[in-house]
Amino acid sequence: MTENIISFEDWQKIDLRVAEILEVEEIEGADKLFKLKIDVGELGERIICAGIKPYYPKEELVGKKIILLANLAPRKLRGIESQGMLLAAGNPADNVCVLISPEKEISNGTKIS
């Protein structure tokens, strides 16, 4: 059983949305981070930093749909304000990272419930 059980009320606070990666940029001095410009539909465009550089080439990411934790408090990483967090699964020890994405075409900004 999972150790960190959350209540249903906690779950209701989480805002997960479909987003599309528009641009990917290198971050000077960062071995693991990319700067991503994403489209979150009605929530607009955002910038997020994601530690996926060792697992995905930039060219493979542009146009990819992802799932975004949209209401995470902004955080500065390498001087860049990251406005959310993408969802991924994997184990760095095994050099595995897989982005979580919708299985079918769906509009940017669609809420995950």
Q: What is the DSSP letter of 38?
A: E
Low-confidence ranges of the chain (pLDDT < 70): 1-2
- CATH number for the domain harbouring residue 22: 2.40.50.140
Cα distance between residue 96 and residue 14, in whole Å: 26
- Domain-embedded: residue 65: yes
Q: Please tell me the predicted confidence (pLDDT) of residue 73.
A: 97
Specify the number of domains making up the chain: 1
pTM over 0.75: yes
- Domain-embedded: residue 113: no
- Domain-embedded: residue 1: no
Domain span at residue 95 reads: 8-107
- Domain-embedded: residue 3: no
How many helices and strands in the chain, by DSSP H and E? 2, 10
Q: Please tell me the predicted confidence (pLDDT) of residue 41.
A: 98
